Each structure stands twice: as structure tokens, then as C-alpha cells.
Amino acid sequence: MSTLRIFNGRIIDPANGRDEKADLWIRDGVIIETPVDGTKADEEIDAKGRIVAPGLIDIHVHFREPGQSHKETIGTGSQAAAAGGFTSVVCMPNTSPAADNAGTITLIREKAATSSVVNIFTTGAITKGLAGQELAPYNAMVGAGIVAITDDGHCVQNHEVMRRAVEYARMFGLVVLDHCQDYSLVGGGVMNEGEWSLRLGLPGWPRIGEEIIVMRNILLADLCDSPIHCQHISSGGSVRLIREARARGVKISGEVCPHHIALTDDHLQTFDSNYKMNPPLRTERDIEAIIGGIADGTLDILCSDHAPHAKYEKEVELDQAPFGILGLETEFGLFSDILVHKKKAIDMARLIELYTSKPAKLLSLDRGTLGVGAQGDVTLIDPDLEWVYDKELSPSLSRNTPFHGTEMKGRAVQTIVAGKTVWSL
């Protein structure tokens, strides 16, 4: 049997209410009680000055395989995840072909089993082909191992179809993850509708295009008594709607990506497509509302929406470029820098909770804890490390990021999956 001992670190395990300096032991990939018989470990890691956290979880990534492996593969995406401190990620179904059937989902899981260095969880599509018209076969996809359903990258516009999706999801114990975008309001918008879209002469993407679907989801979650999770919240109005609904006991939740609190729409004045994302960058007013929502618990999931694109795809006119940026390697540092160190909206223990026990609970994942018997997934964090992101060092196949050269404070420095180090600084 192989044993690992991590010592001298500050263990923060929100799932078990634990925050203390202690040893952590892992045997054959599983966390065990600290031995009292003088057992010596096969490997030891001195975590002095570091936080020992459950392996971080990102529930919103795009690894592009199958069908778009020129952007990213499961292998390279998993390496980027490990470099960001993530031991588990949840992949979206907008692959080519879409992950809307058991065969494609099985293919993804088999590929992950042989090429990924982290745990890969899969979602299934809400509708066939992500077309928003006909429900995908949930029973077969559950059998293939999905943990949620979503049409991410698309949004079901037909409310009757969405209602039936939520009702069927409840039967299978699934959470519906929704990309909130009303097509009739958003139209061909490429950036936030406001001062800068007018100045630049670019089609605007109004806040209400997100908010009206958030409200739709609140009504359906209430009607069906089943959870709906709103993806990548960008509007202050959406935060208010979710806060009011949660106060009434509605099973609605929301997540935040770092770019929606780190950047504003005025960055588009350079016409740099690395600032083009869906939903778009908005204003300081929205940022303050989102940070307030994180601070008061309205928004309790953090993620990246890691969306790699090849260089030639982004180096075109702004209105022709695809939406999306890389995120796995920079998200923890950005959230740590902004939320913990600069804004002091939350502390490090809360930040870790939003990346571990909260996402694990939402999707019923057997991760996000350092309890005895749990898989030995661990992230070591230096909360005060000051560092600069260099995109050229990324293991991702793509380079579409606006954060090259950005200074941050706080970083994951070692990633351990099932007791084995898969990345270290």
C-alpha cells in the first residue's frame, strides 16, 4: 500500500467545518485517519505556509472533444485544469456531435479515462442537437453517467419544452443548468448594450436578454419544485431576481465567472476579440452587484466557462469572432485577488467552499471533501503568492485570453488527484 502524508499545512475543509493546522494522510488514493501507531508514509509533502484544501471543482468547462480538437482536447484541457488547481471538472455538451445521446457521452468518458489527469464529469444536452425543440433521451444518458443536463452555448427558447425538461430532470434527480439568453432580445449583439456599444457602433446585448430567462427559470423551478442553475451570471438585475427567489425558497442558483468581475465593457474599445464573451462584459454597477451576491450567498458557485478557440478563429473582425476565453489557469488567482485581497468581500475559507463543497452538493458529486473515506483529491494553495500569468506557458492548445501579463495574489501550487501529484509549480 502507498501512503502520502501532507504536514505543516492549514487544512480548510468546508464540507466538514474544519479549519486547523493538522496532517492529512492518503492511502491508495483514499483519505484515511491519521495513524497513531507510528506508521511512516511512503511520500511526504511539507505544506508550510500553504492551505490544504479539497481538490477544487469547476462545473463549467468546454474541452471541445469530440469534433473540435484543434481548439482543445480532453488531455490538454485536463492539464490546464490541473495547472489551475482543479482536480475535477464538468464538461459541457456542445461538442460536435453534441453530447445528446449515450454513445457520445460514453465516448467522452472513455477518452477521459485514458487521457485526462483530473476527474472528468459529463453533462448531457437538454434537447437533441442543442436545437431547443425535442428532449434528449435522459434515461439513456443517465445510464451513461451524466451529472446534469444543459444546452450551454444555446438556450431553450420554448418555455413548454423547458418545463418538460425540468419535470423529467426531477424524475432522474438531475439539475438543469441553463445558459440564460433570450434570442429575440439579444439578436446579433456582440457586447453589452450601453455607452460603449453606441460609441463603437457595435450591436448591443442588453441585460434584459439574460434577466428575462433568469425569471423564466425562477418561475419554472418554483412550479416544478426542481432545481435550475443559471450559468455565468453577468447582470446585476439577475442577482436581484435570484436573491429574491431564494429568499422565498425557490430552488434556483447561479454561478459567476472571473471575467464578469474583473473586466468591463470599455475594454472592447480596442476591438480585441479576447474581450468578447457570452454573456458579455458589463459595467462597474453590475460588478458591484455580482460581488455583493457572492458576499451574501446569493451566488454560491464559481467557475471558468473555459472556452478555448484557435488563434485564427479569434483573429478576425470582432463581430465575426467566436465568443469565449480560456479560464482554468487564471480563475482561482483572479477570484482570490479580487474577492479576498482587494474587495475583502469573502475570506479564503469561503472562497474554497465556493469551489469545493458547494459545487459538489449542487451536482451530487462524491468530491469536495477531505473526510475520511473520500477520494484523495487535494489542492495546495499559497494564499499570498503574487504572480503574473503567462499564456505562452499554458498546456492548453489555445491562447485566447485577455489576462496575459495580469498580476494576481493567491494561487494553487500543487494539484493531487487520488493521492498522486498531477501538477506542481
- The residues that bridge with 61 in the sheet, in sequence order, are 91, 306
User: Is residue 79 over pLDDT 80?
Assistant: yes
Confidence of residue 39 (pLDDT cuts 50, 70, 90): confident
Mean pLDDT, residues 187-192:
97
User: Is residue 1 over pLDDT 80?
Assistant: no
| Angle formed at CA 330 by CA 116 and CA 313, multiple of 5 degrees | 75
Residue-wise pLDDT tens digits, 281-298:
999 999 999 999 999 999
pLDDT value at position 43?
Answer: 96
Give Cα separations from 175 to 147, 183, 233, 274 (angstroms): 8, 23, 17, 31
User: Do the beta carbons of residue 23 and residue 379 sit within 8 Å?
Assistant: no
Grid cell locating 151: 444546452
Q: What amino acid positions are annotated as catalytic residues?
A: 305
Averaged pLDDT score across all residues of the chain: 97
User: Is residue 354 over pLDDT 80?
Assistant: yes
Identify the three-state secondary structure at position 72: coil
Confidence of residue 21 (pLDDT cuts 50, 70, 90): very high
Q: State the maximum Cα–Cα separation within the chain, in Å, rounded to a whole number.
A: 72
Mean pLDDT, residues 253-261:
98
Domains of the chain: 55-363 (3.20.20.140)
Confidence of residue 36 (pLDDT cuts 50, 70, 90): confident
86 is in an annotated binding site: no
28 is in an annotated binding site: no
Which has the closest alpha carbon to 6: 321, 377, 263, 368? Answer: 377
23 is in an annotated binding site: no
323 is in an annotated binding site: yes
User: Is residue 271 over pLDDT 90?
Assistant: yes
Confidence of residue 242 (pLDDT cuts 50, 70, 90): very high
Grid cell locating 105: 457521452
Containing 13, the helix (H) or strand (E) segment is strand 10-13
pLDDT value at position 208?
Answer: 98
309 is in an annotated binding site: yes
Identify the three-state secondary structure at position 231: coil
Mean pLDDT, residues 325-343:
98
For residues 350 and 356, give the distance between their C-alpha atoms in angstroms, rounded to a whole number: 10
User: Is residue 231 over pLDDT 90?
Assistant: yes
Confidence of residue 218 (pLDDT cuts 50, 70, 90): very high
13 is in an annotated binding site: no
pLDDT value at position 392?
Answer: 97
pLDDT value at position 166?
Answer: 98
For residues 381 and 408, give the distance between their C-alpha atoms in angstroms, rounded to a whole number: 13
End-to-end CA distance of the chain: 27
For residues 179 and 152, give the distance between their C-alpha atoms in angstroms, rounded to a whole number: 5
User: Do the beta carbons of residue 187 and residue 214 sit within 8 Å?
Assistant: no
Strands annotated E in 179-258:
191-192, 204-205, 228-230, 252-256
Residue-wise pLDDT tens digits, 373-419:
999 999 999 999 999 999 999 999 999 999 999 999 999 999 999 99
324 is in an annotated binding site: yes
Helix, strand and coil content of the chain, in percent to the nearest 5, comes to 35, 25, 40
Question: Residue 114: exposed, middle, or buried by beta-carbon count in 10 A (0-12, 13-18, 19+)?
Answer: exposed
pLDDT value at position 124?
Answer: 98
